[in-house]
Amino acid sequence: MAEEQRRVGGHLAALVLARGGSKGIPLKNIKKLAGKPLIAWVLRAAIDSEAFDSVWVSTDNDDIEKVAKDYGAQVHRRSTAVSKDTTSSLETIQEFLQHHPEVDMVGNIQATSPCLHPSDLIQVVDMIRTQGYDSVFAVVRHHLFRWREVKTPGEGTVPENLDPAHRPRRQDWSGELYENGSFYFTTREIIERGLIQGGKMAYYEMKQEHSVDIDIDLDWPIAEQRVKRFGYFGKGAPTVVKLLVCNIDGCLTDGRVYVNQEHEFISYSLRDLDGIRKLLERGVTVVLISERNISPSLISNLKLPCDVEGNVTNKREVLQRRMSGMGLSLNQSAYMGCGDSDVECLKLAGTSGVPSDASTAAKMTDSFTCTQGGGYGAIQEFAEHIITLMESGR
């Protein structure tokens, strides 16, 4: 009984190992994935779960330390002795525990598993705290047939988990469970015995769509698409967007204006027009704004299927006026901008986005950062991001 009470009340730390010297992808842990540093996805899930007594990043790198602190984690500066290519996760966790005697349990969360959700972590913490397990680790179910490896030329192979004469259909076979590396929760006692898993063990089965790992460059584009569709975007992520206010200058256009003696000209991508139409088809009101005094003839010639407001001196006023007129909350609004004058609105809106060539201040607002620049498909990309959020119910 005393052990059960100690377990419930013990200090549980989330620990993300993020060494700076990745060989496969340099500084992989803070490379941008779907507009956020890779490590930010798991840190947000851990912090928003509110299941941990502390959330830590163990690193040897100044840039990773800064990102970790920006996203709310504490930082343990690991020693050079556990920062080598040959250092194991176990050794790094053991060093962390040596410096933090208050920690009774560790949730070692893999930085390269960006589709982790708070709901997963909450359930695992309950298994450790109240169900009496010493170790809980993540698995995913696969329906894969295994065959014995052939090491000698001419040697035949044999099946290891099926009968070729009676191959089961997928729906008739429950498959097998494989570790996916997303997390390993373990008590201090097990770690001090030199184990990651031990004692009374249990697995936690993650959904296949949430089971994402990034190891090499080829994994990156696949992971990015999975995150955009299945990732966790935070407590404030809206389920329905009803309004998008977007800056014309630097978002619809590349920021350049062409002028002759009588007229000015701007250009935009037809891909962005397609993105606007997709939003309109889903009931999202789109408003394009510009600080410039755009002439009515230019607005007419642009042939845009949405409202356009020029000579805007107060972008926040436009956003709030449009929201008020539609009876919307901030979480039902989206804003896209690219410059310092957009920062206030980017912070206010429930969903915000910036082109890849936006100003530093705009990018620092924790907005979705597009891979495309202004005038080259950024609005289409942000529109698809909004649609994905709504379709996935987040």
Active site residues: 167
Q: For the chain, which residues score pLDDT lower than 50?
A: 1-6, 394
What local confidence, expressed as pLDDT, does residue 259 receive?
66
pLDDT in tens, 13-43: 999 999 887 666 778 899 888 778 999 999 9
| 370 and 381 Cβ atoms separated by less than 8 Å | yes
Residue 332 is predicted with a pLDDT of 87
* pLDDT value of residue 4: 40
What token pair was written down for 11? 């200090």
Looking only at the bridges linking them, the beta strands covering 36-37 and 32-33 are: antiparallel
CA dist., res. 345 & res. 107, Å (int): 37
What is the fold, at CATH topology level, of the domain defined by 243-391? Rossmann fold (3.40.50)
Q: What sign does the CA torsion over 60, 62, 63, 65 have? A: positive
The first and second tokens of residue 286, run together, are: 């789109």
Predicted pLDDT at 5? 35
In this prediction, residue 131 carries a pLDDT of: 93
For residue 354, the cross-strand partners are: 369
Q: What is the pLDDT of residue 234?
A: 76
3-state secondary structure of 372: coil
Could you report the per-residue pLDDT of 77-124, keeping only the tens digit for each?
999 999 888 889 999 999 999 999 999 999 999 999 999 999 999 999
Q: What is the pLDDT of residue 235?
A: 73
Would you kindly state where each structural domain of the chain is located, as residue ranges? 2-220, 243-391
Of the candidates 323, 326, 318, 370, the one whose C-alpha atom is nearest the C-alpha of residue 344 is 318
Q: How far apart are CA 378 and CA 286, in angstroms?
A: 15
pLDDT of amino acid 330:
80
Look up the CATH superfamily of 2-220.
Answer: Spore Coat Polysaccharide Biosynthesis Protein SpsA; Chain A (3.90.550.10)
What span, in angstroms and rounded, lies between the C-alpha atoms of 139 and 230?
A: 17
